[in-house]
Copies of this chain bind each other. A is one copy, B any other.
Amino acid sequence: MSKVPFTKTQIAELIKKYPTPFYIYEEAGIRQATNDLARSFSWNKGFKQYFAVKATPNPSILEILKEEGSGADCSSLPELLLSKKVGITGENIMFTSNDTPAEEFVKARELGAIINLDDIRHIEFLEKNAGLPELLSFRYNPGTSRKGNAIIGNPAEAKFGMTREQILESYAIARKKGVKRFGLHTMVATSQLQTEYLVMNAKMLFALAHEIREKTGVEFEFINLGGGLGIPYRPEQKAIDIKAISAGVREVYEEAVQKGLMPPVKIFTECGRYITGPYGYLVSTVRHMKETYKKYVGLDACMANLMRPALYGAYHHITVLGKENMPSNNTYDVVGSLCENNDKFAIDRKLPEMEPEDIVVFHDAGAHGHAMGFNYNGKLRSAEFLLSPSGEFKMIRRAETSDDYFATLSF
C-alpha cells in the first residue's frame, strides 16, 4: 500500500480550482520505480523495460518514462499513436497485440516497432499486409504447464500466445522467410507478489529458447519475460523485492549461458502496474451519508472513475485526509452515484466516522484506474494531475464535460 504524498491543505487548495474527483500521479515515485527496475537488472547488458501503456495511457506519464529510458508496450492503434506523439518510436516500442487488424501492423511497421506475434497465422497475415520486418518476436502460451490467475486466466484457457509446437514452427517459418533477428515473449499472469513468478518465466523461456535454437537454428536477441509484477494493495501485503527477483532471474540466466544452452541475450520486461500503480491516487469528496440497512458513504467518484472493485472485486485502500489518526471504528459501504448496485468501492470497510465534505483518497489507483473508466449512466471521466518532485500539481488531462459525452452525436 502506497503512502499519500500530499496533504489535506494541498488538496483543499487544488479543489478550489478543480472539483473532485481527480487522479494524482506522483512523478518521483514513477521515476524511482522505473529506475529501481533498471538498476536491478543492470547486470544484463541491453536490459530494457517497456511500459504497458494500457495501464496509464497518459502522454505526460509516458514522457517521464521515456526520460528514464523506458520503452512502450503497445497493443492498439491509439496506443501506438500516443507513443509516437511523445517520441517513443522504433525498437523502443514493443507491439504485442492479439486478433490484430491489418492497419495496426502497418502502423507498427511504419514506426519501426518490434512486432510480437500472438499467433502462427499472423506471420502470413503480417507479411501480406505490412511485410515481414527484420526482427520478429513470438508470444508463448505454456498451457497446462503453468497456472495463471483469475484475471488473465489459466494459460490453457487464455486466448493469448502459441503452443510449444506452434512457436517452434513459427520460428522455422520466419527464418525461412528471411527474418534475421528474433525475440521470445510470454505473459502468464498478472498481479503476482511472489519472487518466483518472473524467475519461473525466465527459466521456462530460457529452456524454450534453447530448444528452439537446437531445432531451428534461431539465435535470440532478446527474451521478454512479460510483466505481471504485483503491488501490495492491502496494508498487510508486502511489496515484491525487485532485487531478489532480478537475482533469481540472473541465477537461471547465468546457469543457462554457462551450460552453453544459449548465448547472452537481452532481457526485456513489460511492467505496467509495478511502475505506476502505487503512485496514482483517486481523490474524491464525500457527497452524501446514508443509513438504511447498512451505512453508506456516497462519493462524487463512481465506478466510471475506478472500475477495479466492481469488475474484479479488487481492494483499494482508503485514507480519509485529516482523519488518519482517528480510530477506524465505523463500518461503511463506500459507493458512487451510478445507478448500478455494483458501483461500490468498498464493502464493509472499517473507517473513521465520516461526514459530507470529507476528502477520500484511494491508494494504488495509478494503473488500470482512469484507463478503465466508462461513461455508463452519463458519468464523466475525471481529470488527471501530476505531482512534481517540488510539490506542484500540473493538470495532465482535463475532466470530461457533457459535450465530450455528446461528441459522437449530431443534434
A74 to chain B, nearest CB (A): 8
Let me know if A335 and B99 touch, CB within 8 A. Answer: yes
Bound-state Cα–Cα, A298 to B104, Å: 15
A99 to B300, CA, bound (A): 8
CA distance A158 to B335 in the complex (A): 10
Say whether A339 contacts B97, CB under 8 Å.
Answer: yes
Interface residues of A, count at CB 8 A? 91
Bound form: Cα–Cα A122–B122 in Å? 58
A376 interface hit (Cβ, 8 Å) = yes
Query: Is the CB–CB distance between A121 and B402 below 8 Å?
Result: no
A interface residues (Cβ-Cβ under 8 A, vs B): 53-54, 57-59, 75-79, 81-82, 85, 96-101, 118-119, 121-122, 125, 141, 143-144, 151-153, 155-163, 166, 287-290, 292-294, 296, 298-300, 302, 307, 311, 333, 335-337, 339-344, 368, 371-381, 383, 396-400, 402, 404-411
Task: From A157, A163, A340, A407, name the one whose CB has the most chain B CB atoms within 10 angstroms.
Answer: A340
Number of copies: 2
- Enumerate the 7 nearest inter-chain pairs by beta-carbon distance, A residue then B residue, closest first: A99-B298, A78-B378, A76-B378, A99-B337, A374-B374, A153-B341, A79-B378
Q: Does A163 lie within 8 Å of B408, measured CB to CB?
A: no
CA distance A339 to B161 in the complex (A): 11
What residues on B are CB-neighbors of A408 within 8 Å? 381, 383, 397-400, 404
The minimal Cβ–Cβ distance linking A386 to chain B, given in whole angstroms, is: 13
Whether B409 and A397, one on each chain, are in contact in the complex, defined by CB atoms closer than 8 angstroms, is yes
| Complex-state Cα separation, A118 to B161, whole angstroms | 48
Q: Is the CB of A99 within 8 A of B151?
A: no
- Whether A75 and B339, one on each chain, are in contact in the complex, defined by CB atoms closer than 8 angstroms, is yes
A402 to chain B, nearest CB (A): 5
Q: Among the listed B77, B81, B341, B379, which residue makes an inter-chain contact with A158, where contact means beta carbons less than 8 Å apart?
A: B341
Contact with A411, one of B85, B158, B287, B341 (Cβ below 8 angstroms): B85
